């Protein structure tokens, strides 16, 4: 009897993380593309209530590879979350931290800007 060919499926980690963030109610997209598609280098996290006059509230940028932010880093088991807006620190750190731990990663959260950033779409 001949062996049947196998069909396999795999999904990049950033796609799974993006879906988990969407499940928590966030919009997720790739920086600079105007799209809701994530990309390997990281994910932009947008607020769900931030659409005002066609401007989107950008809450943070999640780097799934710390070496993108710190090229000399030897630890690739840490995600870096840059947060835009002090009032979103706890919310995003909790949400992303939970996902990071689930995937076996640590999280380094940084306040990147004092206030949220609005992007035109």
Whole-number pLDDT of residue 50: 47
pLDDT tens digits for 17-46?
888 998 988 888 765 545 555 555 678 888
Strand ranges for the chain from DSSP E: 27-29, 43-46, 55-63, 78-84, 106-113, 117-120
Residues 80-103 as b/e (b if ≥16 CB within 10 A, e otherwise) read bbbbbbeebbebbbebbbebbeee
Angle between helices 89-102 and 13-23 (to 10 degrees): 130
Which position has the higher pLDDT, 111 or 13?
A: 111
For the ranges 5-19, 22-36, 51-65, 100-114, the maximum mean pLDDT occurs at 100-114
CB 116 within 8 A of CB 47: yes
Coil, strand or helix: which one is 100?
helix
């Amino acid at each position: 009897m001949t062996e049947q060919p196998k069909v396999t499926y795999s999904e990049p980690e950033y796609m799974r993380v993006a879906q988990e963030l969407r499940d928590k109610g966030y919009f997720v997209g790739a920086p600079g593309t105007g799209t809701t598609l994530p990309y390997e280098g990281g994910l932009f996290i947008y607020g769900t209530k931030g659409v005002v006059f066609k401007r989107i509230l950008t809450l943070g940028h999640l780097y799934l590879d710390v070496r993108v932010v710190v090229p000399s880093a030897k630890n690739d088991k840490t995600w870096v979350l840059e947060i835009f807006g002090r009032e979103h620190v706890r919310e995003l750190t909790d949400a992303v931290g939970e996902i990071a731990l689930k995937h076996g990663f640590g999280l380094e959260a940084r306040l990147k800007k004092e206030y949220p950033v609005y992007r035109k779409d």
